[in-house]
């Protein structure tokens, strides 16, 4: 896992460590790590043109000391000061190594082989002011390699929020631990490749606030020698209507391909007939929205309810019945609209997983969509606590939140998923994992990971080459087995 900590906790850990170290030792550690990454990025250090963009904070000092190390190895290093006062010791070290102060920022940045962004640090919030904004814009447009120091300037390290100009880095070298804003869009999109430098904070850091999975961290149920279809998990899906039939086929197909031992599908007659034709493995039941309708479907170990169901009284009756059971329930799409007016249905003991996009979450918690999009981490956490559920907030960075647990950030998201029906696929996939016995937070996070990976595979034909081919939701369904195989 990649572990990320909120800015205040990082600051506290840094202070605790600095109290045990000689003055300036922590900054020199950070600068050494930054310089080492820069050395790897340059074809050769001797004679390379390196420009430092330096503000008045500690990150400016890190950049100056790193620049001094590069200058001692023969690089031509210049510094553009964005503040009247910069780190005195770092500037003195740079000058002693042969570095120089530059006046022509635009020309220097345009000629540079490598630019180090040390304009602001992890404490920066809000839009960049001048001259920082102009320098960030120059760096982002430069042909040389851009390396951000700890966090790209203009990115809120705590949330990933970007207001106005922000540096678009090729590489971000972050110190001690990841910060949430490096993992969450739009900030994550500005970071490029993120390199973590160990500066010794480990013993002083508390539990993480945000985590992002690596491939080896995604564990899903595996059938054993004694497995049968019931032990592998029976998932019940209540989806589709006469008007919206695709959701029925897509969510069922995802559950079939996600390893469910059995998929029980229930709906009105037309979507049931379509599911029978496309997925003969599914056990189907025609139901009407009447009391105890789901009792006739058969025993399940998790329910998925909502995709394409409609939002009227009939849909409300089925959502109510699913949530009245004592098994995990995933609610998506139209089911979320029902919950927006019937939040009382969430008062249950069994796990509940909600999979809204920002608009659906807006209706659930009464916050404007734009506000949610601007502060996704904050509102995913709020929703999990307020609704008493595991909340999977879909978007360019999918977040999975559960009260008093680190937020899971999905690293496999892709714009290729911005097409109709992919949310239905995610519902069936996560539902199958729930039925297989996974905890709600783990099932939602693993489902998001595999969902994104399947989309990338579908677009490229394989997991290693993430191409640009357009895909459909059904392509994601058919790519799921290949996504699962990458976990072996």
pLDDT tens for 393-438 read: 999 899 999 999 999 999 999 999 999 999 999 999 999 999 999 9
CA dist 481 and 54 (Å) reads 49
> Binding site for (6S)-NADPHX, residues?
58-62, 121-127, 150, 247, 308, 357, 424
**Residue 340 binned pLDDT confidence (cut-offs 50, 70, 90):** very high
Reading the block at residue 79, the tokens are 């510094």
pLDDT for the residue 385:
98
The annotated binding site for AMP is made up of 394-398, 423
Beta strands in 220-321 (DSSP E): 234-238, 262-267, 283-286, 302-305
Q: How far apart are CA 125 and CA 162, in angstroms?
A: 9
**% of the chain surpassing 70 pLDDT:** 97
pLDDT, tens digit (0-9, with 9 covering 90-100), for 345-370 = 999 999 999 999 999 999 999 999 99
Q: Where are the domains of the chain?
A: 2-212, 216-485
CA angle 430, 288, 431 (to 5 degrees): 5
Asked if residues 99 and 68 have their Cβ atoms less than 8 Å apart, the reply is yes
Residue 85 has pLDDT above 70, yes or no: yes
pLDDT of 230 above 90: no
The stretch 66-88 carries a mean pLDDT of: 97
Say what the pLDDT of residue 218 is: 93
In the predicted model, what is the mean pLDDT of residues 5-30? 96
CB 94 within 8 A of CB 124: no
Q: pLDDT digits over 100-127, tens only?
A: 999 999 999 999 999 999 999 999 889 9
Q: Counting beta carbons within 10 angstroms of the beta carbon of residue 346, is it exposed (0 to 12), middle (13 to 18) or buried (19 or more)? A: middle
Strand partners, 173: 149, 195
pLDDT at 334 over 80: yes
Confidence of residue 467 (pLDDT cuts 50, 70, 90): low
For 60, the token pair is: 């400016």
**Domain topology for 2-212:** Rossmann fold (3.40.50)
Token digits for 463? Answer: 């997991």
User: Mean pLDDT across the stretch 251-258?
Assistant: 97
pLDDT of residue 223: 75
Rounded to the nearest integer, the mean pLDDT of the chain is: 95
- 394 φ, ψ (degrees, to nearest 5): -75, 155
Percent of the chain, pLDDT > 90? Answer: 92
Q: What gap in Å lies between CA 90 and CA 64, rounded to an integer?
A: 5
| pTM strictly above 0.85 | yes
What value does the mean pLDDT take over residues 192-217? 95
Euclidean distance between CA atoms 216 and 250, whole angstroms: 28
Q: What band does 67 get if pLDDT is binned at 50, 70 and 90?
A: very high
| Radius of gyration, alpha carbons of the chain | 26
Bridge-partner residues for 79, per DSSP? 52, 101
**From the annotation, which residues make up the binding site?**
58-62, 117, 121-127, 150, 153, 247, 308, 357, 394-398, 423-424
Pick out the residues of the known binding site for K(+).
59, 117, 153
Contact 300, 264 (CB under 8 A): yes
Backbone angles phi, psi at 431, to 5 degrees: -60, -40
Q: CA–CA distance from 73 to each of 77, 429, 461 (Å)?
A: 10, 53, 44
In this structure, whether the domain defined by 216-485 belongs to CATH 3.40.1190.20 is answered with: yes
**Average pLDDT of the segment spanning 455-483:** 83
Give the integer Cα–Cα distance in Å for 357 and 51.
42
Classify burial at 270, counting beta carbons within 10 Å of its beta carbon; exposed 0-12, middle 13-18, buried 19 or more. Answer: middle
Q: What is the pLDDT of residues 277-302, one digit of tens each?
A: 999 999 999 998 888 899 999 999 99
pLDDT at 129 over 90: yes
């Amino acid at each position: 896992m990649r572990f990320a900590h909120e800015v205040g906790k990082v600051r506290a850990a840094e202070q605790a460590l600095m109290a045990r170290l000689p003055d300036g030792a922590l900054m020199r550690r950070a600068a050494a790590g930054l310089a080492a990454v820069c050395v790897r990025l340059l074809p050769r250090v001797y004679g390379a043109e390196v420009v430092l963009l330096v503000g008045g904070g500690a990150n400016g000092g890190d950049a100056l000391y790193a620049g001094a190390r590069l200058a001692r190895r023969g690089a031509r290093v210049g510094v553009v000061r964005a503040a009247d006062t910069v780190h005195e010791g770092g500037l003195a070290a740079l000058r002693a190594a042969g570095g120089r102060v530059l006046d022509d920022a635009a020309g220097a940045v345009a000629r540079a082989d490598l630019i180090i962004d040390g304009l602001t640090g992890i404490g920066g919030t809000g839009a960049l002011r001048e001259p920082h904004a102009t320098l960030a814009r120059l760096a982002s447009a430069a042909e040389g390699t851009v390396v951000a120091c700890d966090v790209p300037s203009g990115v809120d390290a705590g949330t990933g929020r970007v207001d106005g100009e922000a540096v678009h880095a090729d590489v971000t070298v972050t110190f001690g631990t990841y910060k949430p804003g490096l993992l969450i869009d739009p900030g994550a999109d500005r970071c490029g490749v993120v390199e973590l430098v160990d500066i010794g904070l480990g013993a002083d850091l508390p539990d993480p606030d945000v985590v992002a999975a690596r491939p080896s961290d995604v564990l899903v149920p595996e059938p054993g020698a004694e497995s049968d279809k019931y032990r592998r998990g029976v998932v019940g899906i209540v989806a589709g209507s006469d008007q919206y039939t695709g959701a029925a086929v897509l969510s069922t197909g995802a559950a079939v391909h996600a390893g469910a031992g059995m998929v029980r599908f229930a709906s009105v007659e037309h979507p049931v007939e379509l599911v029978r034709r496309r997925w003969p493995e599914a056990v189907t039941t025609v139901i009407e929205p009447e009391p105890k309708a789901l009792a006739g479907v058969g025993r399940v170990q998790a329910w998925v309810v909502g995709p394409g169901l409609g939002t009227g009284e009939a849909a409300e009756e089925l959502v109510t019945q699913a949530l009245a059971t004592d098994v995990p329930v995933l609610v998506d799409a139209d089911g979320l609209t029902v919950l927006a007016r019937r939040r009382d249905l969430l008062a249950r003991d069994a796990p509940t997983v909600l999979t809204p996009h920002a608009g659906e979450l807006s209706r659930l918690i009464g916050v404007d969509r734009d506000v949610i999009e601007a502060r996704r981490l904050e509102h995913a956490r709020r929703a999990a606590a307020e609704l008493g559920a595991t909340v999977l907030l879909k978007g360019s960075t999918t977040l999975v939140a559960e009260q008093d647990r680190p937020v899971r950030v999905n690293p496999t998201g892709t714009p290729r998923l911005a097409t109709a029906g992919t949310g239905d696929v995610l519902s069936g996939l996560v539902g199958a994992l729930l039925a297989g016995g996974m905890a709600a937070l783990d099932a939602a996070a693993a489902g998001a990971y595999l969902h994104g990976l399947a989309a990338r595979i579908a677009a490229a034909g394989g997991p290693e080459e993430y191409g640009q081919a357009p895909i459909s939701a059904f392509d994601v369904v058919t790519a799921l087995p290949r996504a699962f195989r990458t976990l072996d």
